Amino acid sequence: MTVASAYRWMFVRLEPLPLRFWRLALGTVSLLWLLSNLTNWSRDYTPDGMMKLYVSQNPIPAWGILALIPGGSWTLLAAGILVHLFFLAGLYPRVMSLLIWCVHGFLISLNPFSMNSEQYMFLWMFLYGAFIPWAAEKTGQPAHSMAARLFQIHVCLIYLISTFWKIKLDPAWFNGQSVYYVLMHPLWSRVAGQEWVAWAGVAQLFTYSSLVLEGSFAFLVWWRQARPLLVFGLMVFHLSLSMVMQHIGFFSLAMIASLFAWTRTEDFETLVAKIRPRPKSRPKKRRGKKP
């Protein structure tokens, strides 16, 4: 590969339809996460919440900034919802993406103890989003973006590094029992104690399949024939994880949203063609001779 071809490869071609689905997926997951925190908002992000004692002993600049905002964290919540709606509507999506990044960053500064894996995902996704040409979907013409390619590389590194550390640190991935332990633990599993989890071969199948699927993604996703199978296969994989496991729902949804970065118009056309019922062919009338 020459320097010129490598430079061209860094600018991924973005088609209008997949770009719209990608934007809607990212915005929807982040907005749902924000709304899901309504029940614990007073506990996590108000001056009288869980951070009161800690901030009195360890001042955090973000709380000083929050004190200057009329309405405090509730104004921040309303502003966060508003910029998400603007992003979903396609109004100044780059600016809104940067503002969403600011909202998540400020929330983490207010309460670093409540930060979780999906918030880390939102931070880097919307930072890249501030440089992705979302407006190309309105022109109807494909666009090229280095930020989108860097986004894809970031996702590949997540799968590659997580697979490496699974194999390095946990022997249960070698003997195929890792999924068994997770599914049988009531803290993580929604199906803990169910008999089918202990069936012979079930744990090994799920354990090794997840390793192969995640570990091969960073290499095979660039192969055109394997790309749609890997992308939609991982979407189903993360969706199934969120159904059988607790505490990782929004992380799984964030990973699904990130996988839309690889979708193409032809993928959606093929999917619609397979789902859409085929019209029944009418039987041809036989022409017979009149007696």
Over 60: is that where the pLDDT of 291 sits? no
* pLDDT of the residue at 282: 62
Tell me the domain boundaries of the chain.
Answer: 8-275
Q: Which two tokens stand for residue 287?
A: 């022409």
Q: Which two tokens stand for residue 30?
A: 């982040």
pLDDT tier for residue 208 given thresholds of 50, 70 and 90: very high
Alpha-carbon distance of 9 to 198, in angstroms, equals 46
How far the first Cα of the chain sits from its last, in Å, is 77
- Convert the pLDDT of each residue in 231-271 to its tens digit: 999 999 999 999 988 889 999 999 999 999 999 999 988 88
174 - beta bridge partners? none
Mean pLDDT estimate for the chain: 91
pTM: 0.90
